[in-house]
Structure 1
C-alpha cells in the first residue's frame, strides 16, 4: 500500500471515529432528555414506564405482547409497569373488538394529556438546538439523517 492510499485509509478511520463520537453524543443526550421528559410526565414513575406511555401515544391501542416486543422489554416488566400506569389512571385496558379474549391497552384521557404536556417540554429542548439554523442547513441535516437511517428522501 502506498503512502497516499494509507493516508486516505487513516483519514477514513478518523472520520468514522468522529462520527461514532457524535452518534454517542446524540444517543446519550436523547436518553437524558427521555429521562427528563418521563419525570415531567410523572416523577413517581420509572422512565421505563414512559416508554410504554410514549409508544401508546404514538401508535395507539395494542396488546401487551406487541407492546413488549415493540419497546424491547420483557413481558413481565411490561405487565408490572402497565399495572402501575393503570392504577395511576394513565392507561386502560379494554376487550379487543376483533378477539373477545384479547385485551387492548390504551391511554386514558389523563394519560394522553400528560403525555402531550411532557412532549412539549421535550420539543422545546430539541427546538432550542436548531432555532438558529437556516432552512437550508435544516434541510441538509434532515436529508443526511434520512440517508443514514436508510429512508428515502420525500
Structure 2
C-alpha cells in the first residue's frame, strides 16, 4: 500500500469516526425514549423491506442473531412491530411495523432529517449527490465483496 492510499484511509477513518459519533449522539438525544439508535436502525430496515426476517436484519446490520432477537423482542413488547408466520412455511417469521410502530418510525425519521438537513445547506446539490452515490457504492462493495476486485 502506498503512502497516498494510507493518507486517504487515515483521513477517511478520522472523519468517519467524528461524523458518526456526533450524528449518532444527536440522533440518540432527539430520539429520546421512543427508540434507541439500534432499534431505529431495525425499525428503518423493517419499514423498507417486504417480508423482513430476523436473519436478514442480522446479516444487513452485521450483528449476531441473538442481538437482533433481543431488539426484536423489545420492539414487539413495546407494540412497535409484529411477528407473522409464513402460511406456506411456518418456520419463516416476518417482521412488520404496527400502526403505532409506523407512527413512531415516521416521527423518528423526521427528527433524523431535521438533525442532518442543516449540514446539507453548506454543499451544492451536485456535491451531495456525488457524495451519497460514492458512499452507496462503498456500502455495496462492502456488502458484496469486502472490497476485493473480482
Partner SS, residue 83 of structure 2: strand
Q: 1:32 to 1:57 in 2, by over 3 A?
A: farther
Question: Which consecutive residues of structure 2, in runs of 5 or more, have no partner in the other structure?
Answer: 142-150
Partner of 1:57: 47
Cα distance in structure 1, aligned partners of 2:129 and 2:60: 29
Cα distance in structure 2, aligned partners of 1:51 and 1:149: 15
Question: Which consecutive residues of structure 1, in runs of 5 or more, have no partner in the other structure?
Answer: 1-8
TM-score in terms of structure 1 length: 0.69
Q: Number of matched residues?
A: 140
**Quick check: which has more Rg, 1 or 2?**
1
Partner SS, residue 124 of structure 1: helix
Aligned 8 A contact 2:27 2:115 in 1: no
Cα distance in structure 2, aligned partners of 1:140 and 1:94: 39
- Find out whether 1:78 has 2:96 as its counterpart: no
Partner of 1:5: none
Cα distance in structure 1, aligned partners of 2:51 and 2:28: 20
- Find out whether 1:105 has 2:105 as its counterpart: no
**1:1-154 correspondence runs (5 A):** 12=4, 16-17=6-7, 20-34=10-24, 36-38=26-28, 40-41=30-31, 43=33, 45-142=35-132, 145=135
Q: 1:103 to 1:35 in 2, by over 3 A?
A: farther
Cα distance in structure 1, aligned partners of 2:138 and 2:55: 30
Cα distance in structure 2, aligned partners of 1:107 and 1:47: 17
Q: CA RMSD in A?
A: 3.0
TM-score in terms of structure 2 length: 0.70
